């Protein structure tokens, strides 16, 4: 396993999927155990990666490389640096926990877990791929399982939500495909002189053809890529698929959607758009900051207006992804470190939030914020876990969300004063919707309807505690995570920035 | 290279380079005769003969891929890389059609007559399509198109007692004869303008400036109308949905890939030989120059670009509203013609490679999708989307295979359809037709919606729960088609090399 860590992390779930396809339908528990085992492989390897990752270099690590389609110069090229390693760790952790969180699925068990594992393969692959073609294949492979996971196991309007998600993301990714092809024909491998899909070659401006150096061309390609990624993040005004998808998706799928999939948008911008088109990135920096601000404020305002808990969390995701955009648009070291850190932290915090919403939904079969009240007395353990997640979301010092948001504001302030000041209002709005919800659900009169509601179970707690530990740990001691990414991101800013 | 060939008188020795076609003709005749002995019974003889004949022709074609162009049969036919590719494709399509027709109730049902003739006709059609791909002369062009058309009319009306089938046949005949008349008029204009019937000689005459530009444009548009009808490009597509819906499904499956591919073969042959001359032309900054230079007046690639956009957009938008799967696939096949036309107007070897690759992939995945319709029609007796409700629980593996075909038709990785589409888009991008690429890409997104309507019925809509077992033969052929659809999406180097070799040996493109 030693040399092919990333391949194992990526394809172990796929192997699990194939095994599940041939398991008997009458033994659902066996299916779940196989799924958990298949997802445990990447998780265990993630510990190894975390332990052995070299924090002092911006080079790609754990690299695997081989020719795949020679006539089209496509390679199987995997590797991670400080940008992708946090995402890989996040994916491994959340995927495993989500399989545990899905233990009570009883409809078409085989299909559910098979698709979930396929989804994990796609996500891992996206974060590890260094060949643009390979990246694109993984990127698209994720769409299908997501479509089915929402469409079959989702809520009342699942079919609408599923196809909306599929159409939106596909519209974005076909533009990315065209941009990718434009790159392919205008970048040459310096060693062989052939066209290449190698991302590292594409990042080296010296390999670009004269046509690709024209600024209007670069701006157009940037826009095409940006739309593709913006739909995924989602950036206003491409966000309308997200509330639908989140509300209809089953709990574990919402966790993956918010925890990992949204990060792919910002990851794509940082992995592809920034280093390949640095000048266009600077050209677009100001609009990006404004879009970040809109995401923060608009998302928070929408969240405040929601009566459905899940929808509130969904809109809070839009708001929190705005911090990522603001941080990366500033082109300062604090800003970009804060942005990637926020990607990681939002992944963990929002996962907790969705899992917590799932816990109450499983018991009460609704998520209406005003339909509860006084749950703090009825479910004390649950209340404390959910409160922890909520406080992390509003950026309470000592929890992870505070670190990254503070870094983002620190980094963005020198570059964009007004925008940063307006964006900081998002913190206030965030506190407002979080505390208001907390108050309505857990405090106040006890609702007699829920007198017999049992507290959180051990299995549910088992999915939440590891994430909570990460949230507290990073909040108190952010350096282990910061160290992973710092060298890479500083290097990125040095090459891209002004 | 062509001009150096002297006019050859046809000779028997030419048949050495015409083996697959000869095998198909002999197969047709033998199957007809065998049918005489099979009256009233299950026509095992014609079936076996036709299937065997197609497979022998396939083997012969694969084993004798032409290296360079060779003019035979008095310069009426040219055997080159392009012809070599299509004489592999057509017997393959024929063999698959014959295989799944054997278990189809629409063809072999108790009320059907002349069951043996059906198999003979498939072989004849395969022959006609092979000739279309190698025609080098206006006469041969017209003869081969008519041969395929006449066979098609008979096959569309195969279900004699079905009103819809006979109506389909009649519509096909009317549309077909009008457009073939228009094409014939175009061909005669071309002959009048140049005094030649061979493609190569026509080009020489055009290069010498013997033709009036406007008249040439008119002739070209007329020929395009005839060929556009064959490939069902908008606005020559009106027959397509009705004929596809009315004809027996195995015939529809054959129509949707066979004559379309043959039409493309002939279009490539005709336009690239008569209207292109060799040499690097001028190109936009940064874009590689096309391999061929346009002969004659009009900027016909732009005309084709418009045709392509209209065809794919129309096909996709109308497909959105269909509830009958055969009609849906008919409109989707129109959309696919639009994608293919994008490659056609690039005038480059890479564009041709993309077309051939796509035709190969399209044949596999579209036959697969139609076979699914045939197999379920046998069991459910219908082909509305709603008939497929709950299929994922009734026949999970069959539903999964259909999913593979649908994804491939949409063009999502990791399926063959994605690779095919990517090659098309790659060349379009490489030649800087960006608006065309964007329209094409967005069209793919639109197509996702209606393909997923079928997926939605199979997976999301609850239906009957009783397990459904298909004909074993149908399941077998489905696997045979689904496997390459998936495998070619992961590794396709050998196929790409095969296609590249065919284009390298193509006599046109300034050869």
Region A425-441: what's the mean pLDDT? 90
* Tens-place pLDDT, residues B448-485: 999 999 999 999 888 888 888 888 889 999 999 999 99
Quote the DSSP letter at residue A194: S
Residue A173 lies in a domain: yes
Instruction: Give the model confidence (pLDDT) of A89-114 as tens digits.
Output: 999 999 999 999 888 888 888 889 99
Complex-level ipTM: 0.91
B117 or B359: whose pLDDT is higher? B359
CA distance A73 to chain B (A): 11
**Are A110 and A191 found together in one domain?**
yes
Domain region containing A448? 287-489
- A254-283: average pLDDT: 92
Q: To the nearest whole number, what is the mean pLDDT of chain B?
A: 87
A324 shares a domain with A276:
no
What would the pLDDT profile of A301-351 be if each residue is shown by its tens digit?
Answer: 999 999 888 999 999 999 999 999 999 999 888 999 999 999 999 999 999
Q: Nearest CA of chain B to the CA of A106: how many Å?
A: 15
- Residues A354 and A373 placed together within one structural domain of the fold: yes
How confident is residue A124, by pLDDT bands cut at 50, 70 and 90? very high
N-terminal to C-terminal alpha carbon distance within chain B: 6
> Quick check: A270 and A332 in contact, CB under 8 A?
no
CA separation for the pair B158, A13 (Å, rounded): 50
Q: How confident is the model at residue B93 (pLDDT cuts 50, 70, 90)?
A: very high
pLDDT digits (tens, 9 = 90+) for B193-215: 888 888 888 888 888 877 777 88
* Binary contact (A140, B418; C-beta < 8 A): yes
Q: Domain end: A283, A307, A334, which one?
A: A283
Q: Which of A162, A177, A186, A221 to mutate to test the interface with B (most CBs of B within 10 A)?
A: A177
pLDDT band of B285, cuts 50, 70, 90: very low
pLDDT at A346: 93
What backbone torsions phi and psi does residue A343 show, to the nearest 5 degrees? -60, -45
- When CB atoms are compared, the residue of A71, A152, A178 closest to B441 is A178
- Closest Cα in chain A to B452: A163
pLDDT > 70: percent of chain B: 93
Q: How close B467 gets to chain A, by Cα (Å)?
A: 14
- Assess whether A302 and A336 both reside in one domain: yes
A337 and A215 assigned to the same domain: no
Write out chain B residues lying below 8 Å of A137, CB-based: 413-414
Angle at B333 between CA B331 and CA B335, to 5 degrees: 75
Pairs of CB atoms within 8 A across A/B:
82
A1-36 confidence digits (pLDDT tens): 557 889 999 999 999 999 998 888 888 889 999 999
Name the 3-class secondary structure at B72. Answer: strand
Burial A334-355 (b: 16+ CB within 10 A, else e): bbbbbbbbbbbbbbbbbbbbbb
Continuous segment of H or E residues that includes residue A311: helix A309-329
With CB atoms and an 8 Å threshold, state whether A167 touches B456. no
Q: Do B449 and A167 touch (CB under 8 A)?
A: yes
Q: CA nearest B393 in A: which residue?
A: A108
Mutate to test the interface with B, among A181, A186, A213 (most CBs of B within 10 A): A181
Chain A contact set for B496 (CB, 8 A): 69, 71-72
pLDDT band, residue B279 (cuts 50/70/90): low
pLDDT in tens, A186-222: 999 888 888 999 999 999 888 888 888 888 999 999 9
Mean pLDDT computed over B375-398: 89
Strands B276-278 and B70-72: unpaired
Average pLDDT over residues B383-387: 90
Share of chain A above pLDDT 90, in %: 55
User: Using a CB-CB distance cutoff of 8 angstroms, which residues of chain A are in contact with residue B467?
Assistant: none
pLDDT (0 to 100) of residue B314: 93
Neighbouring C-beta atoms of residue A66, cutoff 10 Å: 8
B363 pLDDT above the threshold of 90: yes
Phi-psi region of A62 (alpha: psi -120 to 50; beta: other; left: phi over 0): left
Q: How far apart are CA B427 and CA B424, in angstroms?
A: 6
**Sign of torsion over alpha carbons B462, B463, B466, B470:** negative
Within-domain flag for A276: yes
When CB atoms are compared, the residue of A136, A163, A177 closest to B452 is A163
The per-residue pLDDT for B298 is: 64
Instruction: Report the residue from A166, A167, A210 with minimal CB separation from B286.
Output: A210
CB-CB contact of A292 with A329 (8 Å): yes
Separation CA B358–CA B419 (nearest Å): 8
Task: Please say which residue of A238, A257, A283 terminates a domain.
Answer: A283
Q: Give chain B's contact residues with A (Cβ, < 8 Å).
A: 285-287, 392-393, 407, 412-414, 418, 422, 425-426, 429-430, 434, 437-438, 441-442, 444-445, 448-449, 452, 456, 459-460, 491-493, 496-497, 500
Q: State how many domains chain A has.
A: 2
Asked whether residue A358 is assigned to any structural domain, the reply reads yes
Q: Is the pLDDT of residue B7 over 60?
A: no
Check residue B296 and give its pLDDT: 64
B321-332 pLDDT, tens digit each: 999 999 999 999
| Residue A450: predicted pLDDT | 80
pLDDT at A297: 93
Q: Give whichever of A354-363, B40-49, B363-372 has the largest mean pLDDT.
A: B363-372
C-alpha distance from B439 to closest chain A C-alpha (Å): 10
Q: What is the mean pLDDT of residues A224-235?
A: 92
Which residues of chain A make contact with B413, given a CB cutoff of 8 A?
A: 136-137, 140-141
The per-residue pLDDT for range A459-476, each reduced to its tens digit, is 888 899 999 999 999 999
Output the pLDDT for position B40: 65
- Beta carbons of A171 and B442 less than 8 Å apart: yes
Kindly identify which residue of chain A lies nearest to residue B435, measuring between CA atoms. A178
What is the full DSSP assignment across B223-291? HHHHHHHHHT-TTS-THHHHHHHHS-HHHHHHHHHHHHHHHHHHHHHHHHHHSEEES-----TTSPPPS
Given a cut of 60, whether residue B3 has pLDDT beyond it is no
Is A393 in contact with A405 (CB distance < 8 Å)? no
Considering the domain architecture, whether residues A251 and A345 belong to the same structural domain is answered as no
Mean pLDDT of chain A: 90
Same domain flag for A97 and A202: yes
Can you give the pTM of this predicted structure? 0.93
Residues in chain B within 8 Å Cβ distance of A185: 426, 429-430
Select the more confidently predicted residue: B141 or B297: B141
- Interface mutation vs chain A, best among B339, B397, B440, B452, most A CBs within 10 Å: B452
Q: B277 pLDDT exceeds 80? A: no
Q: Is A291 among the domain residues?
A: yes
**pLDDT tens, position by position, B220-273:** 889 988 899 889 888 888 888 889 988 889 999 999 999 999 999 999 999 888
Identity of the residue in A141, A174, A210 whose CB atom sits nearest the CB atom of B444: A174
Determine which of A121-135, A144-158, B277-291 has the lowest per-residue pLDDT on average: B277-291
Q: How many residues does chain A have?
A: 498
Please check whether residue A497 lies inside any domain of the structure: no
> What local confidence, expressed as pLDDT, does residue B5 receive?
45
* Any domain includes A498: no
Q: Pick B286's closest partner by Cβ from A137, A147, A209.
A: A209
Q: B491, A166: Cβ pair inside 8 Å?
A: no
Shortest Cα distance, chain B CAs vs residue A69, angstroms? 6
Is A496 part of any domain? no
Listed residues A283, A300, A329: the one ending a domain: A283
For residue A36, tell me if it sits in a domain.
yes
> What pLDDT is recorded for position B509?
66
pLDDT surpasses 60 at A154? yes
Evaluate whether A493 touches A332 at the Cβ level (below 8 Å). yes
Instruction: Count CB atoms within 10 A of the CB of residue A50.
Output: 16
Pick among A174, A211, A231 to test the B interface (most B CBs inside 10 A): A174
Q: What residues of B are in contact with residue A184 (Cβ under 8 Å)?
A: 426
pLDDT for the residue A33: 92
Give the per-residue pLDDT at B290.
58
Cis ω before A69 (30° cut-off from 0): no
Q: In 3D, which of A227, A293, A216, A256 has the Cα closest to residue A87?
A: A256
How close does chain B come to A460, measured CA to CA in Å? Answer: 28
B286 to chain A, closest Cα gap in Å: 5
B448·A167 Cβ contact <8 A: yes
Q: How far is A87 from chain B (nearest CA, A)?
A: 23
Model confidence over B136-161: pLDDT tens digits?
A: 899 999 999 999 999 999 998 888 88
Interface of A with B (CB under 8 A): 68-72, 108, 111, 136-137, 140-141, 143-144, 147-148, 151-152, 158-159, 162-163, 166-167, 170-171, 174-175, 177-178, 181-182, 184-186, 209-212
pLDDT score at A123: 94
Choose the closest CB to B426 out of A163, A171, A181: A181
Give domain limits for chain B: 15-510
Q: Are residues A140 and A84 located together in one domain of the fold?
A: yes
> Is residue B297's pLDDT more than 80?
no
Q: Is residue B346 within 8 Å of residue B436, measured between CB atoms? A: no
């Amino acid at each position: 396993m030693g040399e092919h860590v990333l391949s194992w992390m990526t394809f172990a779930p796929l192997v699990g999927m194939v095994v599940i396809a041939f398991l008997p339908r009458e033994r659902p528990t066996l299916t779940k155990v196989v799924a958990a085992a298949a997802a445990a492989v990447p998780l265990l390897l993630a510990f190894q990666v975390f332990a052995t990752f070299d924090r002092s270099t911006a080079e790609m690590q754990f690299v695997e490389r081989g020719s795949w389609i020679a006539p089209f110069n496509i390679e199987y090229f995997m590797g991670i640096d400080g940008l992708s390693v946090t995402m890989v760790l996040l994916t491994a952790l959340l995927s495993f926990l989500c399989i545990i969180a899905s233990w009570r699925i009883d409809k078409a068990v085989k299909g559910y877990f098979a698709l979930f594992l396929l989804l994990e393969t796609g996500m891992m692959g996206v974060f590890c791929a260094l060949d643009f073609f390979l990246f694109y294949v993984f990127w698209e492979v994720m769409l299908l399982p997501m479509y089915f996971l929402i469409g079959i196991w989702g809520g009342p309007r699942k079919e609408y939500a599923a196809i909306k998600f599929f159409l939106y993301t596909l519209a974005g990714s076909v533009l990315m495909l065209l941009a990718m092809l434009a790159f392919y024909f205008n970048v040459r491998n310096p060693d062989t002189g052939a066209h290449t899909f190698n991302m590292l070659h594409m990042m080296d401006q010296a390999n670009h053809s004269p046509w690709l150096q024209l600024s209007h061309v670069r701006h157009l390609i940037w826009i095409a890529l940006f739309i593709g990624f913006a739909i995924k993040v989602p950036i206003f005004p491409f966000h309308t698929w997200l509330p639908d998808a989140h509300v209809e998706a089953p709990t574990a799928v919402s966790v993956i959607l918010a925890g990992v999939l949204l990060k792919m948008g910002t990851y794509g911008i940082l992995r592809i758009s920034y280093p390949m088109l640095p000048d266009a990135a600077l050209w677009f920096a100001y609009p990006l900051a404004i879009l970040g601000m809109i995401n923060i404020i608009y998302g928070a305002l929408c969240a405040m207006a929601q009566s459905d808990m899940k929808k509130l969390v969904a809109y809070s995701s839009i708001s929190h992804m705005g911090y990522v955009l603001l941080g990366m648009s500033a082109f300062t070291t604090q800003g970009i470190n804060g942005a990637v850190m926020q990607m990681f932290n939002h992944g963990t915090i929002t996962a907790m939030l969705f899992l917590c919403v799932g816990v109450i939904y499983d018991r009460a079969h609704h998520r209406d914020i005003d339909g509860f009240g006084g749950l703090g007395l009825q479910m004390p353990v649950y209340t404390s876990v959910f409160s922890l997640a909520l406080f992390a979301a509003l950026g309470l010092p000592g929890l992870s969300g505070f670190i990254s948001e503070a870094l983002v504001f620190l980094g963005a302030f020198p570059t964009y004063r007004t925008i940063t000041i307006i964006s900081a209002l998002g913190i206030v709005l965030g506190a407002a919707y979080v505390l208001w919800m907390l108050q309505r659900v857990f405090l106040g009169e006890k609702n007699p309807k829920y007198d017999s509601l049992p507290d959180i179970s051990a299995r549910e707690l088992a999915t939440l505690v590891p994430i909570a530990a990460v949230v507290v740990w990073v909040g108190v001691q952010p350096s282990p995570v910061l160290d992973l990414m710092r060298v890479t991101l500083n290097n990125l800013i040095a090459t891209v920035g002004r | 290279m062509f001009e150096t060939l002297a006019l050859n008188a046809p000779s028997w020795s030419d048949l050495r380079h015409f083996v697959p076609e000869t095998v198909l003709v002999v197969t047709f005749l033998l199957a007809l005769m065998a049918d005489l002995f099979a009256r009233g019974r299950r026509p095992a003889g014609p079936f076996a003969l036709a299937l065997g004949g197609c497979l022998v022709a396939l083997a012969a074609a694969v084993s004798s891929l032409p290296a360079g162009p060779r003019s035979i049969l008095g310069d009426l036919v040219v055997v080159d890389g392009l012809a070599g590719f299509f004489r592999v494709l057509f017997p393959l399509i024929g063999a698959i059609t014959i295989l799944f027709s054997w278990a189809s109730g629409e063809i072999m049902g108790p009320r059907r007559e002349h069951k043996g003739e059906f198999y003979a006709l498939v072989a004849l059609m395969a022959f006609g399509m092979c000739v279309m791909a190698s025609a080098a002369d206006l006469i041969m062009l017209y003869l081969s198109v008519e041969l395929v058309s006449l066979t098609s009319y008979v096959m569309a009306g195969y279900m004699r007692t079905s009103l819809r089938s006979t109506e389909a046949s009649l519509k096909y005949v009317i549309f077909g004869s009008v457009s073939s008349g228009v094409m014939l008029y175009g061909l005669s204009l071309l002959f009048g303008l140049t005094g030649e019937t061979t493609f190569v000689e026509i080009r020489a005459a055009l290069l010498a400036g013997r033709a009036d530009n406007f008249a040439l444009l008119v002739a070209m548009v007329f020929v395009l109308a005839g060929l556009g009808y064959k490939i069902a490009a908008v606005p020559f597509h009106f027959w397509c949905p009705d004929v596809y819906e009315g004809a027996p499904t195995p015939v529809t499956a054959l129509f949707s890939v066979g004559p379309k591919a043959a039409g493309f073969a002939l279009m490539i042959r005709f336009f690239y030989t008569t209207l292109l001359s060799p040499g690097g032309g001028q190109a936009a900054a940064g874009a590689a120059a096309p391999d061929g230079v346009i002969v004659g007046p009009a900027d016909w690639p732009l005309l084709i670009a418009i045709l392509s956009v209209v065809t794919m957009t129309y096909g996709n938008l109308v497909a959105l509203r269909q509830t009958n799967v055969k009609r849906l696939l008919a409109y989707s096949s129109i959309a696919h013609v639009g994608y293919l036309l994008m490659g056609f107007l690039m005038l480059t070897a890479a564009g041709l490679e993309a077309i051939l690759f796509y035709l190969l992939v399209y044949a596999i995945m579209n036959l697969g999708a139609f076979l699914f319709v045939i197999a379920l029609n046998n069991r459910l007796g219908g082909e509305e989307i709603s008939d497929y409700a709950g299929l994922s629980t009734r026949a999970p593996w069959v539903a999964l295979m259909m999913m593979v075909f649908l994804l491939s038709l949409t063009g999502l990785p990791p399926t063959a359809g994605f690779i095919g589409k990517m090659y098309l888009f790659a060349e379009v991008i490489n030649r800087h037709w960006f608006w065309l690429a964007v329209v094409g890409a967005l069209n793919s997104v639109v197509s996702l919606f209606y393909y997923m309507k079928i997926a939605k019925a199979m997976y999301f809509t609850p239906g009957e729960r009783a397990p459904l077992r298909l004909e074993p033969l149908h399941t077998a052929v489905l696997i045979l088609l689904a496997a390459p659809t998936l495998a070619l999406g992961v590794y396709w180097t050998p196929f790409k090399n095969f296609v590249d070799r065919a284009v390298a040996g193509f006599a046109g493109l300034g050869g």
